[in-house]
A and B are shown apart, each in its own frame.
Chain A
Amino acid sequence: MSTFKLARMRCQLAGWLGEIRRAYLQMFGIPDYDRYLTHMADHHPELTPLTRREFAAQAIDRRYNGGAGRRCC
Chain B
Amino acid sequence: MKKKIMSMLLWGVLASVGSSAMAAVALNRGESVNAVWLVAAALAIYFIAYRYYSRFIADRVLGLDEGRQTPAYRHNDGMDYVPTNKWVLFGHHFAAIAGAGPLVGPVLAAQMGYLPGALWILGGVIVAGAVQDFIVLFVSVRRDGKSLGEMIKLEMGPVPGALALVGVLAIMIIILAVLSLVVVKALTASPWGVFTIASTIPIALLMGVYMRYLRPGRVGEASLVGIGLLLAALVYGQSVANDPALGPLFTLTGPQLAWALIVYGAVASSLPVWLMLAPRDYLSTFLKIGTIAALAIGIFWVAPPLQMPQVTQFIDGTGPVVGGKLFPFLFITIACGAVSGFHSLISSGTTPKMVERESHMRLIGFGGMLMESFVAIMALVAASVLDPGVYFAMNSPAAVIGTTAANAAQVISQWGFAITPDMLTQTAKEIGENSILSRAGGAPTLAVGMAHILSQALGGKTVVAFWYHFAILFEALFILTAVDAGTRVGRFMIQDMLGHVWQPLGNTKWLPANLVGTGLCVAAWGYFLYQGVVDPLGGINTLWQLFGVGNQMLAGIALILATTVLIKMKRERYIWVTLVPTALLLVTTLTAGLEKIFSPDTHVGFLSLAHKFSAAAAEGKVLAPAKSLAEMQRVAFNNTLDAVVCGLFVVLVCAMALFAIRVGLRALKQAQPTAVEVPAVAVQEVRA
Contacts and interface: CB of A to CB of B under 8 A. Distances in A.
Interface of A: 21, 23-33, 35-40, 52-53, 55-73
Given A21-B220, A24-B220, A72 B96 contact: yes
B123 to A, nearest CB: 20
Given A35-B78, A62-B80, A71 B96 contact: yes
A25 B317 CA distance: 47
B274 A57 contact: yes
Between A25, A29, A52, A55, the greatest number of chain B beta carbons within 10 A of the residue's beta carbon is seen for A29
Interface string B315-352: 00000000000000000000110001011011001100
A interface, over-half SS: helix
B349 A68 contact: yes
Nearest to A33: B217
Nearest to A62: B80
Interface stretch (B81-89, B497-505, B636-644): B81-89
Contacts of A38: 78
B139 interface: no
Contacts, number: 133
Interface residues of B, number: 56
B482 A73 contact: yes
A70 B485 contact: yes
Contacts of B343: 72
B349 A70 contact: yes
Contacts of B335: 73
B616 to A, nearest CB: 35
Contact of B76 (A39, A64, A65): A39
Contacts of A40: 78
Q: Which 3 A-B pairs have the closest CB atoms?
A: A56-B217, A39-B78, A73-B101
Nearest to B87: A23
Contacts of A66: 492, 508
A72 B98 contact: yes
Nearest to A67: B492
Given A30-B219, A73-B340, A73-B547, A36 B79 contact: yes
Contact of B277 (A35, A57, A69): A69
B273 interface: yes
A64 B488 contact: yes
5 contacts: A26-B85, A27-B91, A27-B95, A56-B217, A73-B482
Interface in B258-275: 273-274
Contact of A67 (B78, B97, B482, B488): B488
Contact of B485 (A26, A31, A60, A64): A64
Nearest to A49: B78
A31 B78 contact: yes
Contacts of A24: 91, 219-220
B492 A73 contact: no
Interface string B278-311: 1001100100000000000000000000000000
B634 interface: no
A43 B349 CA distance: 26
Nearest to B276: A64
A50 B489 CA distance: 27
Given A66-B492, A69-B489, A72-B336, A32 B551 contact: no
Nearest to A25: B219
Contacts of A39: 76-78
